[in-house]
Amino acid sequence: RASAWHLHVPAMAGECCGFADTPQGYRWCTRLAKLFCLSIFAAESLSYNVVFLGRLLPAWVRPFCSFPLAVVFNVLWCLSVCCYLRAMFADPGVVPKQWQEFVQKEDTDITVSAPRHGWQPGVATMCKDCNIPRPERSHHCSHCKVCVLRYDHHCIWIDNC
């Protein structure tokens, strides 16, 4: 039984409006979400480096404090942007044919259960759309029409669908 929270939260962030129901609308929403995330990164860097380090910090304390703070912030900022871009360009993967063959070969050792809402640790589930067994953490993507191995790396903000 789904809780009240699950009834009000869309399955994906792009499904909150009717526009994202079409492939063109979904693609437009994902591009807009990526542009929003990248603009947040740019605004964060600009506001910290120009406004805080360039104007506010020298007025409060001695100017020599700006350089170490700039180095620390910009190193962490670059790592964050690199992680975001790596996640954006990473392939989340689809459930391989070898997995299906392995489950059929080892049918007595591996229990394939019906899908439930939520994580089922150590349990393979049967996809109701593809009608194939899938490992844990994998889910069916309604836009790709395949079962995705790492569905938590497969969202509108990253757009690696």
- DSSP letter string, 21-36: GSHHHHHHHHHHHHHH
Per-residue model confidence (pLDDT) at position 152: 61
Q: Which residue has the tokens 């009608």?
A: 131
Q: What is the pTM of this model?
A: 0.62
Q: Is 102 helix (H, G, I), strand (E, B) or coil?
A: helix
C-alpha span between 140 and 127 (Å, rounded): 7
pLDDT in tens, the chain (161 residues): 444 433 333 444 444 455 556 667 777 777 888 888 889 999 999 988 888 887 777 767 766 777 788 889 999 999 999 998 888 888 778 888 888 888 878 766 777 777 767 666 777 888 888 888 888 778 888 777 888 887 666 666 777 77
C-alpha span between 105 and 110 (Å, rounded): 10
Q: Which two tokens stand for residue 138?
A: 């994998």
CB count in 10 Å sphere of residue 72:
10
CB count in 10 Å sphere of residue 159:
19
φ/ψ of residue 117, rounded to 5: -75, 125
- Confirm whether 155 is a catalytic residue: yes
